[in-house]
Chain A
Amino acid sequence: MKQKPRVAVFDFADCEGCELEIADLEEEVLDLIEIVDIVSFREVMKEHSDTYDIAIVEGSIMRPMDEKRLRNIRSRSKILIALGACATIGGINKIRNQWMPDEVKKEVYGTADLKGNELFDVFQTKALNEVVPVDYYIHGCPIDRDEFKSVITAIALGKKPDIPRYPVCVECKKNENICQFELGNFCLGPITRAGCKAICPTHNSPCEGCRGLIKKADTECVKEVLERYKLSYEDIRRRCTMYNYGRKECSYDE
Chain B
Amino acid sequence: MKQLVKTITKKDFSTFVNTLIKDGSYDVVGVQAKGKRYVFDTVSSAQELRLDYDVTILPPKKYFLPQYEMLLKFSLQKPFEGKETITDVPRIIIGVHPYDIIALEQTDRHYLDQQQDSFYKKRRENTIIIGVDIQNVSERSFAASMKTNTTESGFDLLLTDIGNCYAVTIGSEKGDKLLKKYATVKDASSTDLNKIKTARNAVLKKYKQKIKIEKKDWSPLLVANYDHAIWEEHADVCMECSSCTMVCPTCFCYDVKDEVSLNLKQGNRTRTWDGCMLKDFTKVGSGEVFRDEVKERYRHRFFRKGNYLPERYGFVACVGCGRCGSACLPDIADPCNLINELAHFTSEDDTGRYFIKEENEVLEKGIIHVPRSATIKKITPFNELDSLFEIELDDKKPLGHKPGQFVEVSVFGYGEAPFGISTPPGNTPLFEIMVRQVGNVTKKLCSLQPGDKIGIRGPLGNGFNVKSFEGKTLLFTSGGTGMVPMRSLINHVLDPKERNKFKDVIILYGAKRPKEITFMDDVDRWKKIPDVQCEITVDRCEPSECWGGCTGLITTLFPKIQADKLDSKNTIAVVIGPPVMYKFVIKCLQTLGVPDDNIYVSLERRMKCGVAKCGHCQINGIYVCKEGPVFNYGTLKQLPEAF
Query: Taking beta carbons and an 8 Å cutoff, which residues of A are in contact with B?
Result: 25, 28, 31-32, 34-35, 149-150, 152-153, 156-160, 162, 165-167, 169-170, 173-179, 181-183, 189-191, 215, 220-225, 228-229
B86 located at the interface, meaning its Cβ lies under 8 Å from any Cβ of chain A in the complex: no
Q: Which residues of A contact B238 (CB under 8 A)?
A: 221
Contact among A25, A35, A150, A190 for B264, CB-based, below 8 A: A35
Contacts of B413 in A (CB 8 A): 157, 159
User: At the interface, is chain B mostly helix, strand, loop or mixed?
Assistant: loop
The answer for the CA separation of A149 and B330 in the assembled complex, in Å, is 36
Instruction: List which B246-272 residues lie within 8 A (CB) of chain A.
Output: 246-247, 257, 259-264, 272
Contact status of A167 and B241, CB under 8 A, knowing A174-B273, A221-B236, A228-B329: yes
CB neighbours of B35 from chain A (8 A): 178, 183
Q: Across the interface, do A149 and B236 meet the contact criterion of CB distance under 8 Å?
A: no
B34 with A173: CB separation less than 8 A:
no
A106 to B435, CA, bound (A): 61
| Contacting residues of chain B (208-261) with chain A, CB-CB under 8 angstroms | 236-243, 246-247, 257, 259-261
Task: Name which residue of chain A comes closest to B66, CB basis.
Answer: A174
12 A-B pairs with C-beta separation under 8 A: A153-B261, A157-B264, A157-B444, A166-B275, A166-B280, A170-B246, A174-B246, A176-B34, A177-B57, A221-B238, A225-B239, A228-B331
Which 3 pairs of residues, A with B, have the shortest CB-CB distance? Answer: A173-B246, A169-B241, A31-B262
**Which residues of chain A come closer than 8 Å to B62, judged between CB atoms?**
176
**Would you call B443 an interface residue if the criterion is a C-beta within 8 Å of the partner chain's C-beta atoms?**
yes
| Min C-beta distance of A201 to chain B, whole Å | 12
Task: Assess whether B263 is in contact with A165, with CB atoms less than 8 Å apart.
Answer: no
List the B side residues contacting A215 at CB < 8 Å: 239-240
Task: Evaluate contact between A31 and B261: CB separation under 8 angstroms.
Answer: yes
If A174-B246, A174-B273, A224-B330 touch, whether A149 touches B280 (CB-CB below 8 Å) is no
Considering the complex, give the chain A residue whose CB is closest to the CB of B242.
A170
Kindly provide the distance from the CB of B457 to the nearest chain A CB, expressed in whole angstroms. Answer: 20
- Provide the B34-70 mask, 1 if CB < 8 A to any CB of A, else 0: 1111010000000000000000011000100001100
B57 touching A28, Cβ below 8 Å: no
Contact A165 B280 (CB under 8 A): yes
A170→B244 CA distance, assembly (Å): 10
CA distance A223 to B260 in the complex (A): 41
Interfacial chain A residues near B241, Cβ < 8 Å: 166-167, 169-170, 189-190
Distance A165 CA – B414 CA, assembled complex (angstroms): 19
Query: In the complex the two chains form, is B264's CB within 8 Å of A156's CB?
Result: yes
Q: Is the CB of A150 within 8 A of B414?
A: no
Chain B residue with the shortest CB-CB distance to A35: B264
Complex-state Cα separation, A229 to B328, whole angstroms: 12
**B58 touching A225 by the CB < 8 A rule?**
no
Contact flags B313-355 to A (C-beta < 8 A → 1, else 0):
0000000000000010111000000000000000000000000
* Contact yes or no, B262 A35, CB < 8 A: yes
Q: How far is the CA of A179 from the CA of B503 in the complex (A)?
A: 65
**How far is A35 from B117 in the complex, measured between Cα atoms in Å?**
37
Q: With A35-B263, A157-B414, A178-B57 known to touch, is A225 a contact of B37 (CB < 8 Å)?
A: no
Number of B residues contacting the other chain (C-beta, 8 Å)? 44
What number of A-B contacts does a CB cutoff of 8 Å give? 115
Q: Report if B447 contacts A (CB, 8 A).
A: yes
- The answer to whether A178 touches B237 (Cβ under 8 A) is no
For A175, give the chain B residue with the smallest CB separation.
Answer: B67
B513 at the A interface (CB under 8 A) = no
A176 to B73, CA, bound (A): 27
Cβ contact within 8 Å between B327 and A179: yes
Bound CA span A182–B247, Å: 15
Partner of A152, one of B237, B262, B279: B262
Contact present for A149 and B262 (CB under 8 Å): yes
Q: With A157-B413, A159-B444, A228-B330 given, is the CB distance from A191 to B58 under 8 Å?
A: no
B239–A191 contact, CB under 8 A? yes
Smallest Cβ-Cβ distance to A25: which chain B residue: B262
Does A190 contact B260, Cβ atoms closer than 8 Å?
A: no
> Separation in Å of the A249 CB from the closest CB of chain B?
16
Q: Is B278 an interface residue (CB 8 A)?
A: yes
> When the two chains form their complex, are residues A169 and B34 in contact, meaning their CB atoms are under 8 A apart?
no
Distance of A229 from chain B, by nearest CB (Å): 8
B446 to chain A, nearest CB (A): 11
Query: How long is the Cα–Cα vector from A28 to B439 in the complex, in angstroms?
Result: 29
A158 & B263 in contact (Cβ 8 Å cutoff): no
Q: How far is the CB of B565 from chain A (nearest CB, A)?
A: 52
Whether B278 contacts A166 by the Cβ 8 Å rule is yes
New A-B pairs, 12, CB < 8 Å, besides A158-B447, A173-B327, A178-B34? A35-B264, A153-B261, A166-B241, A169-B241, A169-B246, A170-B278, A175-B67, A176-B57, A177-B57, A179-B243, A190-B241, A221-B238
Smallest CB separation, A142 vs chain B (Å): 18
From known contacts A169-B242, A181-B329, infer whether A174 and B67 are also in contact, taking CB-CB under 8 Å: yes
Alpha-carbon distance between A19 and B608 when the two chains are bound, in angstroms = 36
Known: A31-B261, A153-B260, A153-B261. A224 touches B237 (CB 8 A): yes
B428 to chain A: which residues have CB within 8 Å? Answer: none
| Complex: A160 Cα to B476 Cα, angstroms | 37
Docked CA distance A225–B333 (Å): 13
Query: Which residues of chain A are near B259, meaning CB under 8 Å?
Result: 150, 153
